[in-house]
């Protein structure tokens, strides 16, 4: 469910007509619904009750400060994967004791940031990383809390580029070595191993891979505890999929029931890292039609949005539903290839999309774009980074301004051996 609905033939974000936002901020722009974010966060939280659960929102899904703050106000923690994301989470008001730092390649500078901030735990993914954390913590005269991320060798069945729990993936430490590595870490003077972590992939459409991985995690934790090693937390990661194409996927309630079936009788603090399932369909990309081009065999709808604004279709072959902002609902549908203006054949949002008759100047909304949309955008072709807008009831605010070519050029310098430009 989301809060993007038609009112008198005009698509609205909550109580705000999208054409009114477009008139003020221009196109393209991302638009997020506070009500949808809040509802999805509440549904996920309620699905896990009464477990001792902390939801650490996966900042990489959508790292806008206002989006993070919306969830922080509801009690969310944050899962971060870079020093920049850590700074964002803290600036958005997430308490450090509700922040976990994941990722396979943390630099010593980022490790120092995490230790100095006093975050809940660092999820470690290799033995060299454990050594680096011990070294950085020793230099600060403190001890760093860590959790060992294990790789359970479970195929999540999702897209190959977003599967993270197979033995050939770069993430985590082989689950068969968990006892050896955890024991060695416990002997170090400046790290405190306090738990285990796991994340097997993104956009999972089936609960069985979760169940298989969680059972393996539970068994590894039990083995460690039986040998006298203290386990306080289990980080179960994220990955629950959302229906980009209207298909039926497991609900948070079904996911929560499965988690409770495995962990309800165990004495662990459970951490979760939902991202896409919270913000995915809480956002849309609004774009304007530039041209309608009649080709020899197909009709092209050319937009002012492009693959640099929303990478998922070009990167993953991902599907996003597209709808006209002005649509009385009675017009016949016509198939069209919806494309952007970038000089790449891959700059396409969909082929044979069924749309009402469109003309230059009409607005189109690309749905389910709240996750991995703005965060993956680039300035390819020297195009601007588009604004982000947050809606709350009948109000809206620009929460990231359009960043154009002048901002980009201000960070570039001409070397002394080349003539300096004067324009």
What is the phi-psi region of residue 75: left when phi exceeds 0, alpha when psi lies from -120 to 50, beta otherwise?
Answer: left
The rounded distance, in Å, linking the Cα atoms of 222 and 234 is: 11
- Which tokens go with 24? 């003020």
Task: Tell me which of 12, 31, 56, 343 is the catalytic residue.
Answer: 343
Q: What is the 3-state secondary structure of the chain? A: CCCEEEECCEEEECCEEHHHHHHHHCCCEEEEEHHHHHHHHHHHHHHHCCCCEEEEEEHHHCCCHHHHHHHHCCCCEEEECCHHHHHHHHHCCCCHHHEEECCCCCCHHHHHHHHHHCCCEEEECCHHHHHHHHHHHHHCCCCEEEEEEEECCCCCCCCHHHECCCCCCCCCEEHHHHHHHHHHHHCCCCEEEEEEECCCECCECCHHHHHHHHHHHHHHHHHHHHCCCCCCEEECCCCECCCCCCCCCCCHHHHHHHHHHHHCCCCCEEEECCCHHHHHHHEEEEEEEEEEEECCCCEEEEECCCCCCCCHHHHHCCCCCEEECECCCCCCCEEEEEECCCCCCCCEEEEEEEECCCCCCCEEEECCCCCCCHHHCCCHHHCCECCEEEEECCEEEEEECCECHHHHHCCCCCCCCCCCCCC
> In sequence order, what are the residues at sequence separation of 6 or more whose Cβ sits closer than 8 angstroms to the Cβ of residue 373?
30, 62, 283, 285, 309, 310, 312
Give catalytic status of residue 12 as yes or no: no
Q: How far is CA 346 from CA 210, 243, 308, 341, in A?
A: 33, 23, 11, 11
CA-CA distance, 151 to 410, in Å (whole number)?
43
Taking alpha carbons only, the member of 317, 323, 246, 338 closest to residue 286 is 323
Positions marked active-site: 343
């Amino acid at each position: 469910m989301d809060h993007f609905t038609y009112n008198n033939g005009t698509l609205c974000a909550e109580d705000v007509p999208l054409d009114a936002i477009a008139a003020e901020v221009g196109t393209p722009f991302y638009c997020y619904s506070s009500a949808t974010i809040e509802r999805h966060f509440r549904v996920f939280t309620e699905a896990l009750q009464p477990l001792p659960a902390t939801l650490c929102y996966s900042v990489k899904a959508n790292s806008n400060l206002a989006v993070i703050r919306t969830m922080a106000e509801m009690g969310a923690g944050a899962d971060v994967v870079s020093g920049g994301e850590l700074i964002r989470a803290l600036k958005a008001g997430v308490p450090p004791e509700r922040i976990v730092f994941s990722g396979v390649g943390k630099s010593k500078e980022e490790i120092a940031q995490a230790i100095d901030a006093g975050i809940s735990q660092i999820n470690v993914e290799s033995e060299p990383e454990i050594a680096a954390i011990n070294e950085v913590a020793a230099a600060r005269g403190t001890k760093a809390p860590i959790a060992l991320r294990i790789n359970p060798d479970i195929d999540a069945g999702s897209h190959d580029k977003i599967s993270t729990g197979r033995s050939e993936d770069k993430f985590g430490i082989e689950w068969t070595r968990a006892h050896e590595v955890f024991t060695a870490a416990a002997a170090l003077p400046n790290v405190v191993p306090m738990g285990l972590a796991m994340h097997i992939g993104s956009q999972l459409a089936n609960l069985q891979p979760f169940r298989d991985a969680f059972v393996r995690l539970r068994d590894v934790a039990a083995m460690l505890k039986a040998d006298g090693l203290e386990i306080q937390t289990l980080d179960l990661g994220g990955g629950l999929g959302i229906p980009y194409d209207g298909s039926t996927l497991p609900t948070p309630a079904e996911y929560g029931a499965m988690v409770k079936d495995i962990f309800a009788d165990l004495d662990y603090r459970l951490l979760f890292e939902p991202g896409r399932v919270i913000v995915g369909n809480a956002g849309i990309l609004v774009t304007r039609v530039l041209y309608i081009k009649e080709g020899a065999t197909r009709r092209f709808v050319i937009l002012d949005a492009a693959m640099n604004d929303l990478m998922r279709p070009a990167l993953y072959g991902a599907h996003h539903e597209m709808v006209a902002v002005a649509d009385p609902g009675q017009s016949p549908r016509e198939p069209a290839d919806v494309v952007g203006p970038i000089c790449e054949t891959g700059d396409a949002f969909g082929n044979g999309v069924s749309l009402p008759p469109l003309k230059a100047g009409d607005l189109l909304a690309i749905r389910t774009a709240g996750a991995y949309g703005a965060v993956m955008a680039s300035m390819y072709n020297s195009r601007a980074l588009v604004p982000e807008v947050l809606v709350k009831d009948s109000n809206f605010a620009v929460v990231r301004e359009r960043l154009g070519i002048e901002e980009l050029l201000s960070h570039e310098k001409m070397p002394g051996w080349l003539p300096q430009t004067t324009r």
